[in-house]
Amino acid sequence: MTPLASYACLPEQSRGRRHAEPPLPAHATSVRNPHQRDRDRIVHSTAFRRLVYKTQVFLNHEGDLFRTRMTHSLEVAQLGRSIARALGLNEDLVEAIALAHDLGHTPFGHAGQDALNECMAEHGGFEHNLQSLRVVDELEERYPSFNGLNLSFETREGILKHCSRRNAELLEQQDPGGVASRFLQGTHPSLEAQLCNLADAIAYNAHDIDDGVRSGLLTLEQLQEVSLFARFHAQTVAEFPGLASRRQLFETIRRMLSEQVYDVISATRAALQRVAPRHVDEVRRSEPLVRFSPSMHAESQALKSFLFRNLYRHPQVMQNTDGARTMVQDLFAAYVEQPEEMPTAYAQRPNRQRAVADYLAGMTDRFASREHARLKLGSDTH
């Protein structure tokens, strides 16, 4: 195993967990470091298994081969680990953050999150990054003496990718000097956390092309306006004339992914050389260091905006999102009105709206649809 660089999050220097845990037996101490333990806790969590049935872009039941939040998270972890190893970063930590980064997503993708955020407008709002942290800090019920998974500071820091000032202040009150402090101080997270953000974008930009073409909503011709795609597509066609279009697509995406990975590695290496952080705390005080080169950044942004215009806003995708929005609104209103329809642990919580939001956010697409039908909340479009 490659030794970690001095600017990596070194497991032996972890800032630790929020709740004290009993000391490990002697034979266990050398087996897994704290970030490996975090990764394992995430993989065994209930919220992680639910990712299989949560929409990424295409509704979960629309086809068996589209990405779900689970396969998306695995792809982020794979890309993140490859880059982490090349840069001497902590691969276990990257894997833990990547596998947990979407745990707070509602059913039905962004439509579900937007609808829930609207329902919660007067009760503190709903934001999926913050919810991912709530899942690992509060909502998982797996340990006898504390809520949540009790993950290390570094994993939690990476999970909380964005945070509004107001939410950061609230978190800071509960956990002074914790993972929300950086949003008040204007500092940055570890390189491992920065890397997961970029790996997330690399992953969805690529797999949404694949899913978009598979669904018939995007065509190879249309994708020619995206320089990052067009370049590698032209290369592929020149090298393999007459190749079937599915294979053209996969080969193009493979080349795009590799190029972006190499680009991040070399641009980040250059930034690390220039800034020369000697410790993760110097990383936190420095400018963001994990990056694309300026030209790859521009190409990646162009691809993202292409997908936004042509896929995420496609009438067929939007039509599904309208149905999802109604479903979340109906369920929210029903549980607020009749909390006894939720499991007792949620029904008994004093802050009813937040309890409903937590319950709803945890649902898979199909569970939400079934609940909508069970509660007879109007004509189901799903």
Residues 181-240 that bind Mg ion (CB under 5 A): 200
Q: How far is the CB of 98 from Mg ion (least distance, A)?
A: 9
CA distance linking residue 284 with residue 268, whole number of Å:
15
Q: How far is the CB of 200 from Mg ion (least distance, A)?
A: 4
Chain residue at closest Cβ approach to Mg ion: 200
Instruction: Quote the longest CA-to-CA distance of the chain.
Output: 65
Q: How far is the CB of 105 from Mg ion (least distance, A)?
A: 8
Q: What amino acid is encoded at 185 in this protein?
A: Q
Q: How far is the CB of 113 from Mg ion (least distance, A)?
A: 12
Q: What amino acid is encoded at 57 in this protein?
A: V
Count CA atoms closer than 13 A to 139's CA, side-chain side.
25
Among the candidate windows 7-15, 100-108, 222-230, 270-278, which touches Mg ion by CB under 5 A? 100-108
Among 240, 270, 269, 271, smallest CA distance to 254 is for 240
Residue 68 bridge partners (DSSP): 55
- Comparison of 77 and 280: residue with beta carbon closer to Mg ion: 77
- Comparison of 5 and 74: residue with beta carbon closer to Mg ion: 74
- Comparison of 17 and 67: residue with beta carbon closer to Mg ion: 67
CA distance linking residue 129 with residue 167, whole number of Å:
11
Q: How many residues bind Mg ion (CB under 5 A)?
A: 2
- Comparison of 198 and 356: residue with beta carbon closer to Mg ion: 198
251 binds Mg ion (CB under 5 A): no
Residues 3-42 that bind Mg ion (CB under 5 A): none
CA distance linking residue 115 with residue 328, whole number of Å:
6
CA distance linking residue 371 with residue 107, whole number of Å:
12
Residues belonging to the chain: 382
- Comparison of 200 and 208: residue with beta carbon closer to Mg ion: 200
**How far apart, in Å, are the Cα atoms of 368 and each of 119, 128, 195, 246, 374?**
16, 17, 33, 34, 10
- Comparison of 99 and 249: residue with beta carbon closer to Mg ion: 99
Each as own residue / partner, the long-range contacts of residues 1-4 (CB below 8 Å, 24 or more positions apart, any chain) are 2/85, 2/88, 3/88, 4/88, 4/89, 4/90
- Comparison of 14 and 300: residue with beta carbon closer to Mg ion: 300
Q: How far is the CB of 136 from Mg ion (least distance, A)?
A: 15
Identify whether the C-beta of residue 317 lies closer than 8 Å to the C-beta of residue 45: no
Q: How far is the CB of 101 from Mg ion (least distance, A)?
A: 5
Judged by CB under 5 A, the residue of 38, 92, 95, 102 near Mg ion is 102
Q: How far is the CB of 123 from Mg ion (least distance, A)?
A: 25
Among the candidate windows 85-93, 98-106, 187-195, 336-344, which touches Mg ion by CB under 5 A? 98-106
- Comparison of 91 and 102: residue with beta carbon closer to Mg ion: 102
Q: How far is the CB of 75 from Mg ion (least distance, A)?
A: 9
Among 126, 160, 167, smallest CA distance to 356 is for 126
- Comparison of 14 and 205: residue with beta carbon closer to Mg ion: 205
Chain center to CA of 309: 21
- Comparison of 104 and 148: residue with beta carbon closer to Mg ion: 104
Query: Which positions lie near Mg ion, rule CB under 5 A?
Result: 102, 200
